[in-house]
Amino acid sequence: MRPEYIRVKLPNRKKSEIFAVAEQLLGGSRLIAMCEDGKSRMARIPGRMKRRMWIRVGDLLIIKPWEFQDEKADVAYRYTKTQAYYLSKKRKLPEIIDVF
């Protein structure tokens, strides 16, 4: 048997990163994200990501919840549609957010 390789970035659990899906864009580089633990969090899009890639409703994200305020988070990564389908096909996404 060959070991299975995943070709896209996965959340770093040691840094408390989790999967999320963008639910609603709020403006001002903020959005509401439905997380894999069942909570909806308000997430910030950092400036380095805001200028390079646009986030739309339904995009798969990696977010990092704040340690001192659990209902807020920072966006760490956005997957393309192709990458999201790949993760869904490989069954790496939790059932609660697997909409691909």
Q: What is the pLDDT of residues 43-57, one digit of tens each?
A: 999 888 888 888 999
> What span, in angstroms and rounded, lies between the C-alpha atoms of 47 and 56?
16
For residue 6, tell me if it sits in a domain: no
> What span, in angstroms and rounded, lies between the C-alpha atoms of 55 and 5?
27
Q: Tell me the three state secondary structure of residue 45.
A: coil
How much of the chain, in percent, has pLDDT values that exceed 90?
A: 73
CATH number at residue 75: 2.40.50.140
C-beta separation of 23 from 59 below 8 A: no
For residue 9, tell me if it sits in a domain: no
How many domains is the chain built from? 1
Give the model's confidence band at 42: pLDDT under 50 very low, under 70 low, under 90 confident, else very high: very high
Sign of the Cα torsion 99, 4, 49, 52 reads negative
Tell me the residue range of the domain where 37 lies. Answer: 15-92
